[in-house]
Amino acid sequence: MTDLNQKEKINEWYTQALHEQFNPFIKLWISFNGWYKWKFPDANTDKKAIDKCKQSGDLLTYYQRCFSDNQFCDYLDRLGRELNTRPLENLTRPRDKKLVLSKLEDEQGNISYLDNSTEAFKNYLDVIYRVRCNLFHCEKSPNSERDKLIVECAYKTLSSMMKQIIDTF
């Protein structure tokens, strides 16, 4: 990335700081981050904590319960379709694997991203963590319609899962 491009993004974020744009996802991530740091205190990095989340039967159960929420399903499917068109890259490490959500295909060839399997759950956590990383490391643009869609879908799905967590407190 060029220095000018990075400066443009920094300026865009400065301008957006006065408006509600990506703030709901950031605030939600802070809540999720607090939960996983509390749940897995021995994980000394966010990546290690996300890896522990992937092994959490509780979190898998919360994820699976979300499939009864129509909004969760709608946004998960929208996110899956968008990433199927163009996989999510790690913009700070371009050689990392490009991410997509797990998909299901029926006998008629209809595709859905509403997979509640353990592997799909792990893929989902990788995706939302990468959304977080790209956003927090200034690799998303508040003026990009695609970035807005991805962050909105990540927010809507993660908020449903966080509600499951909060309801157990």
The string of pLDDT tens digits covering residues 50-107 is 999 999 999 999 999 999 999 999 999 999 999 999 999 997 888 899 999 999 999 9
pLDDT at 118: 98
- Looking at the structure of the chain, the number of domains it has is 1
Query: How far is residue 94 CA from its own chain's centroid?
Result: 18
pLDDT at 19: 56
Provide the pLDDT for residue 17.
57
For residue 160, is it within any domain?
yes
Count of beta carbons in the 10 Å neighbourhood of residue 12 = 17
In a domain, 50, yes or no: yes
Q: Is residue 16 part of a domain?
A: no
Query: Domain limits at 64?
Result: 27-33+45-167
The answer to the question of residue 136 being in a domain is yes
User: By 3-state DSSP, what share of the chain in percent is helix, strand and coil, each rounded to 5?
Assistant: 65, 5, 30
pTM: 0.88
The residue among 23 and 12 whose pLDDT is bigger is: 23
The answer to whether residue 147 sits within a structural domain is: yes
Is 158 within a domain? yes
Q: Would 38 be classed as within a structural domain? A: no
Q: In whole angstroms, what is the distance from residue 140 CA to residue 115 CA?
A: 27
- DSSP lists the bridge partners of residue 88 as 99
